[in-house]
């Protein structure tokens, strides 16, 4: 059985990834930081349905906690075949109001975490000469968003990280790809007003926001044999909101 480690999987896109991989017979590791109840409920629900799942607490912006996450995963399941770097946080504010600590926090959770978790997982993939890494960026990493400079910078960094690493580890048969979603109906957007949501839908050719399931299915595809010749790519499921 293969193993998929998904960061930030207690809810939203990460939780949908856990469900999709579990249903395809992967052992799934549901990483969480604060949302213990949601992560445990997802773990229990998957196990009750006959799937293999384990919830593991770790703040993925901290190197020692990432070390624990990866060693516990290997202890439980023996290897890591798929890594989904999904954990992320969003921040709204003009650049002149952003403190240095706030900048560091946004960059550390959205970008440094991708470096830390990938670095810890790669030796297992290199050893097996096989692996697939999918990093979650955002349309704002492609085109930038006003009042979201640190988030946009971090997500653009995730794209650069993906492209560079794919060249470095391709010879070890490890593929590295990126998904850059548009507006998706998760907790990340729960504070948007009805008017803001209506405006976003209006600006989207498909006339709606996306669902976390739609993103999880693309991540699952990128990890599958069907994507065996795809590496270093950015796929942006966004309903046509951004066409580049």
By CB under 6 A, name the one of 89, 143, 192, 230 that touches ligand NAD.
89
Sign of CA dihedral 220, 155, 68, 231: positive
Query: Any catalytic annotation for residue 32?
Result: no
Cβ(117)–Cβ(136) under 8 Å? no
With binding defined as CB under 6 A, does residue 109 bind ligand NAD?
Answer: yes
Minimum distance from residue 138 beta carbon to ligand NAD (Å): 4
State whether residue 154 is helix, strand or coil.
helix
Residues 48-87 contacting ligand NAD, CB under 6 A: 59-61, 86-87
State whether residue 128 is helix, strand or coil.
helix
Nearer to ligand NAD, 74 or 215 (CB): 215
Residue 214 and residue 231: Cα distance in Å, rounded?
20
Site stretch for ligand NAD (CB under 6 A), options 17-25, 33-41, 70-78, 163-171: 33-41
With b for 16 or more beta-carbon neighbours within 10 A and e for fewer, the 29-52 pattern comes to bbbbbebeebbeebbeebeeeebb
Minimum distance from residue 76 beta carbon to ligand NAD (Å): 18
With binding defined as CB under 6 A, does residue 142 bind ligand NAD?
Answer: no
Residue 13 and residue 215: Cα distance in Å, rounded?
7
Strands of 27-32's sheet in order across: 52-57, 27-32, 3-6, 82-85, 131-136, 174-179, 234-235
With binding defined as CB under 6 A, does residue 166 bind ligand NAD?
Answer: no
By CB under 6 A, name the one of 13, 80, 106, 223 that touches ligand NAD.
13
Nearer to ligand NAD, 48 or 190 (CB): 190
Residues identified as active-site: 151
Interface ranges with ligand NAD (CB under 6 A): 7-8, 10-14, 31-35, 59-61, 86-89, 109, 136, 138, 181, 183-184, 186-189, 212
């Amino acid at each position: 059985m293969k193993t998929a480690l998904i960061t930030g999987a207690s809810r939203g896109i990460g939780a949908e990834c856990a469900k999709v991989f579990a249903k395809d017979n992967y052992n799934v590791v549901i990483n969480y930081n604060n949302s213990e109840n949601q992560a445990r409920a997802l773990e229990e629900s998957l196990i009750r349905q006959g799937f293999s799942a384990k919830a593991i607490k770790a703040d993925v912006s901290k190197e020692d906690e990432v070390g624990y996450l990866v060693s516990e995963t290997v202890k439980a399941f023996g290897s890591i075949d798929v890594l989904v770097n999904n954990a992320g946080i969003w921040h709204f504010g003009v650049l002149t109001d952003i403190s240095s600590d706030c900048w560091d926090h946004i960059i550390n959770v959205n970008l440094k975490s991708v470096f830390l978790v990938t670095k810890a997982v790669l030796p297992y993939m290199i050893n097996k000469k096989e692996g697939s890494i999918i990093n979650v960026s955002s349309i704002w990493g492609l085109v930038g968003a006003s009042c979201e400079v640190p988030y946009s910078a971090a997500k653009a960094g995730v794209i650069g990280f993906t492209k560079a690493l794919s060249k470095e580890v391709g010879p070890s048969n490890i593929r590295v790809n990126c998904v850059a979603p548009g507006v998706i109906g998760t907790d990340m957007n729960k504070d948007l007003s009805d008017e803001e949501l209506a405006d976003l839908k209006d600006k989207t050719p498909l006339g709606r926001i996306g669902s976390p399931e739609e993103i999880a299915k693309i991540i699952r595809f990128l990890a599958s044999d069907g994507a065996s010749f795809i590496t270093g790519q950015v796929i942006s499921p966004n309903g046509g909101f951004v066409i580049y």
